[in-house]
């Protein structure tokens, strides 16, 4: 009953009209007056932001803020894969024999997430990890490793919440929300980097549109809340001890080692 009520309420408000209203307000000049309150509400460290609060023209401008260059050092060892975002590690583990993985008690099929059976087959018996970005987090994405972009495509239309309630009660938002899938090829391995849109706003912007990604460089940003899912082939990575603790992680910090 609780799950059905949640889903119904979201579906009633997740339309083009409400999405447009939210976007219009967040990108309006008047929204900039909410920035000081926003930083206090979410305890955002403004000392690492690249410019002063007064220099942001809108709330959206602040939400997609850049940080000072030294704010996120990148783990440089060649065999280390680093976090592409500031986030909570929501879930991680093995992809099952049926090419499924579980987040918040919900089983997700890789074929639904990736769109094609052949794409899902590539990750049979592999590993997955889910990064959840809260409204407080830095929302720019960075490359987790040196790689070449093999293919990039989008799936889904509307987007539902990817917060705790959304993952628990929503209609499998990771595999049904608007999302952009990027397949990356490293010299030792292949992986998928999946950017999942969140409630109301489907905006996923790319700032690197080339096929060359370098570890730690910015590649894009989310407008509003979001999640990143990464998939790894069988026997290609081992997660670090910090991941096992299911903690917060920041851009540039190691979360896996290539095997």
User: What amino acid positions are annotated as catalytic residues?
Assistant: 86, 142, 226
What angle is formed at CA 119 by the lines to CA 78 and CA 11, rounded to 5 degrees? 105
Let me know: does 221 contact 246? Beta carbons within 8 Å. no
Whole-angstrom distance, CA of residue 163 vs CA of residue 161: 6
What are the φ and ψ backbone dihedral angles of 226, each rounded to 5 degrees? -175, 170
What angle is formed at CA 242 by the lines to CA 237 and CA 245, rounded to 5 degrees? 115
CA end-to-end distance (rounded Å), the chain: 45
Copy the structure tokens of residue 179. 């999302």
The bridge status of strand 100-103 relative to strand 87-94 is unpaired
List, in order, residues 6 or more apart from 15 with CB less than 8 Å away: none
Instruction: Quote the distance between the C-alpha of residue 103 and its chain's center.
Output: 14
Q: How many CB atoms lie within 10 A of CB 37?
A: 9
* Residue 107 three-state SS: strand
């Amino acid at each position: 009953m609780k799950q059905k009520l949640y889903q119904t309420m979201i579906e009633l408000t997740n339309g083009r009209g409400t999405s447009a209203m939210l976007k219009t307000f967040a990108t309006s000049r008047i929204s900039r007056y909410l920035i000081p309150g926003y930083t206090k509400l979410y305890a955002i460290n403004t000392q690492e932001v690249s410019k002063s609060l007064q220099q942001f023209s809108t709330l959206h401008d602040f939400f997609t803020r850049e940080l000072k260059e030294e704010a996120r050092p990148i783990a440089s060892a060649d065999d280390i894969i680093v976090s592409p975002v500031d986030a909570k590690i929501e879930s991680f583990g093995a992809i099952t024999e049926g090419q499924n993985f579980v987040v918040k008690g919900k089983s997700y099929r890789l074929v639904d997430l990736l769109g094609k059976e052949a794409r899902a087959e590539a990750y049979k018996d592999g590993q997955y990890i889910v990064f959840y970005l809260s409204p407080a987090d830095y929302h720019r994405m960075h490359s987790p490793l040196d790689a070449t972009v093999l293919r990039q495509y989008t799936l889904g239309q509307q987007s539902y919440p990817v917060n705790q309630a959304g993952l628990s009660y929503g209609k499998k938002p990771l595999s049904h929300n608007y999302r952009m899938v990027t397949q990356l090829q490293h010299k030792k391995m292949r992986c998928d980097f999946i950017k999942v849109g969140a409630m109301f706003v489907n905006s996923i912007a790319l700032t690197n549109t080339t096929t060359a990604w370098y570890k730690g460089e910015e590649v894009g940003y989310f407008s509003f809340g979001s999640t990143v899912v990464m998939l790894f082939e069988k026997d290609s990575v081992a997660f670090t001890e910090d991941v096992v603790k299911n903690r917060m992680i920041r851009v540039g910090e190691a979360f896996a080692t290539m095997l």
